[in-house]
Amino acid sequence: MRDRWPRVFAAASFALFLFAAPCAGHAQAGLGHVEDASTPPRGLLRLRAISSWTRYDSRFTANGSEPLGAFLTADSLGVSRFPALAPIQLLVQSVSGSPFTLSLGRSQLSATAREEVVPIGVEYGLSDRFAVGVTMPIVRKRAAVLFRLDTTGSAANVGPNPRRTSTNALTNDTQVQAEFNNAITQLQNRLQACQANPAGAGCASVAGRESLAQQLIQTSQSFKSDVALLYGSGSVSGAPFVPTSQSTAQAAVAQRVSAFNTQFKDFLGTTTNLIQAIPSPAGGPAGVADFQNYFVNDLGRDSLNMQERLGIGDVEVGFKFRVLDVLPSTTRHDGVQFSVGSTVRLPTGSRQSTSDVVDLRLGEGSVIVDSRALGEARVGRFALLAIGEFATSVHDKDTTNAATRNSRCTEIQVAPGWHLSEPLAVHLAYSLRSTDKLGGDQLVGGSVTYSTLSAYRAGARGLPMEMRFTHLEAVSGDANRPKFFRDQLEVRLYFRLH
């Protein structure tokens, strides 16, 4: 045992070095509990085929969890739930001159995310303790999204802007701007003429009220500009949603137009109406297609429907070295293994995401160094596997979204188990993960394993075979982390190359 102490000391020192540094990224394809301290025996090629199925329809919040579609689910969809609508609400408040709370009606966004990952890994034992390997994951991500907007019996007070689709509305809104411009110009000309000749025709109506007339010009110009931004004009398309024809906001806008007309008539001393056109209101509440059009074309977001990505994820190459190796035998049921390993993850997976609801990226977009220390201990039938892992980004291929991508990550996995027989065992599973930018989470679950590797090392005839099924659930997490369920099936097959 004494000759092993230097190796134990070296392993402990290396482990302390690993855990002293911060780390980044996730394990391969975000999978956990798919590795142990074993390495393929010398001269054997170990093929690792893993199938992982992940599904979730909610994410963690500061106070628990919420559905993925919560940001577009409300009894009255407005600014409080979807802040992007705030500019429209402010414009309506400005042109109506009264308080206004925008509502598109009752909305619901149902969303479910699914992810299938199939990492194909090959490891080769250069010695009984040292192995090199490469892993290529095939990743498929899907987002099933259904958006509903119910305006029946709701308090919807805005609808699609007719200026964008109707030539009659375009003509009318252009007329509104023309009438305001004409009235403003007439009053400006009257003020200039009366300043030069106070006794001139029509000057009696503005005499002594020049400052009030200037104030009317300024407020009407501001109103006219806001009306163009909200309803549109000959050159401006306007906001995607405007007050409906039966709303109190539209009635207030009509009253303000009438008030401006009365004031201009008073200052110009005429009985002729100068401003009669009212901005075109929405014919009714918005529908799903109207909101989809606004979401995609006005906000530049992705469509709220089914999205799917399929491709190669980030490829890994690396090594594993078993520093300590005390295996059970026919006379000793206790054993200890301790391994260290490291991989370099290449940014071969696509960073494109076609969904605003879930993350559909296939890769991290960075060159990541992932290092880990793995220990296994067995006393009789009881076994314990513990893994400490960290990853750090050493080069960013994609720098456009660096603020929303992890650069350091740590993970600790613990799996106590019980051997029902020599090849068959059951394990509990626990993981604690943390990242520098996107928070962390805790996973719990269990697994069933079947392995003939120890029998092969003890001299059994025939190549070993291993299988493992694991179920994991995210039981807690920081805000916006997915609350997922995952099933993993791993098969390890061994081949002799010579």
- What is the reported pLDDT for 4? 44
Q: Answer whether residue 51 is part of any domain.
A: yes
- Are residue 188 and residue 315 in the same domain, yes or no? no
Contact status, residue 323 vs residue 10, Cβ threshold 8 Å = yes
Contact status, residue 8 vs residue 373, Cβ threshold 8 Å = no
Q: Which two tokens stand for residue 379?
A: 């006393």
d(CA 65, CA 273): 59
Task: Supply the DSSP symbol for 85.
Answer: G
Find all residues with CB under 8 Å of 331, minimum gap 6, and list them. Answer: none
Q: 249, 269, 284 — which closes off a domain?
A: 284
Give me the residues of the chain with pLDDT under 50, please: 1-29
CATH code, 47: 2.40.160.40
3-state secondary structure of 410: strand
Give how far Cα 433 sits from Cα of 137, 156, 265, 441, 443, Å: 21, 44, 71, 5, 8
- Are residue 162 and residue 137 in the same domain, yes or no? no
- Are residue 272 and residue 360 in the same domain, yes or no? no
Q: Which residues of 110-130 are buried (b: 16+ CB within 10 A; e: fewer)?
A: ebbbbbebebebebbbeeebe
End-to-end CA separation in angstroms for the chain: 33
Q: Answer whether residue 329 is part of any domain.
A: yes
- What is the reported pLDDT for 440? 93
d(CA 34, CA 471): 11
The sign of the dihedral angle between the CA atoms of 178, 179, 185, 189 is positive
Contact status, residue 313 vs residue 362, Cβ threshold 8 Å = yes
Find all residues with CB under 8 Å of 431, minimum gap 6, and list them. Answer: 32, 33, 411, 412, 413, 414, 442, 443, 444, 472
d(CA 153, CA 182): 42
Q: 284, 302, 337 — which closes off a domain?
A: 284
Q: Answer whether residue 303 is part of any domain.
A: no
Task: Supply the DSSP symbol for 399.
Answer: -
d(CA 78, CA 88): 10
Q: Answer whether residue 182 is part of any domain.
A: yes
Per the structure, the complete domain to which residue 425 belongs is given by 2-69+117-145+311-496
Contact status, residue 133 vs residue 122, Cβ threshold 8 Å = yes
Q: 149, 447, 458: which is closest to 333 by C-alpha?
A: 458
Q: 488, 489, 487, 476: which is closest to 58 by C-alpha?
A: 476
- Are residue 274 and residue 315 in the same domain, yes or no? no
Q: How many domains does the chain have?
A: 2
- Are residue 137 and residue 195 in the same domain, yes or no? no
pTM of the full structure: 0.77
- Are residue 335 and residue 407 in the same domain, yes or no? yes
Task: Supply the DSSP symbol for 52.
Answer: E
Contact status, residue 34 vs residue 490, Cβ threshold 8 Å = yes
d(CA 22, CA 463): 40
3-state secondary structure 361-372: CCCCCEEEEEEE
d(CA 497, CA 86): 66
- Are residue 334 and residue 443 in the same domain, yes or no? yes
Contact status, residue 423 vs residue 50, Cβ threshold 8 Å = no
Give how far Cα 224 sits from Cα of 178, 268, 452, Å: 10, 19, 81
Only one residue has tokens 């293994």, namely: 337
Q: Answer whether residue 90 is part of any domain.
A: no
Q: Answer whether residue 111 is part of any domain.
A: no
- Are residue 64 and residue 204 in the same domain, yes or no? no
pLDDT in tens, 447-473: 999 998 877 877 777 888 899 999 999
- Are residue 374 and residue 276 in the same domain, yes or no? no
- What is the reported pLDDT for 20? 34
Contact status, residue 269 vs residue 205, Cβ threshold 8 Å = yes
- What is the reported pLDDT for 328? 67
Q: Answer whether residue 373 is part of any domain.
A: yes
Give how far Cα 225 sits from Cα of 115, 228, 280, Å: 49, 5, 15
- Are residue 338 and residue 255 in the same domain, yes or no? no
- Are residue 232 and residue 121 in the same domain, yes or no? no
- What is the reported pLDDT for 353? 81
Give how far Cα 249 sits from Cα of 246, 255, 279, 358, Å: 9, 10, 12, 36
Contact status, residue 228 vs residue 236, Cβ threshold 8 Å = yes
d(CA 387, CA 15): 10
For residue 270, how many other CB atoms are within 10 A of its CB? 13
- Are residue 354 and residue 443 in the same domain, yes or no? yes
Q: 265, 284, 303 — which closes off a domain?
A: 284
Q: Answer whether residue 110 is part of any domain.
A: no
The sign of the dihedral angle between the CA atoms of 82, 87, 88, 94 is positive
Contact status, residue 139 vs residue 362, Cβ threshold 8 Å = yes
Helix (H) or strand (E) holding 267: helix 248-268
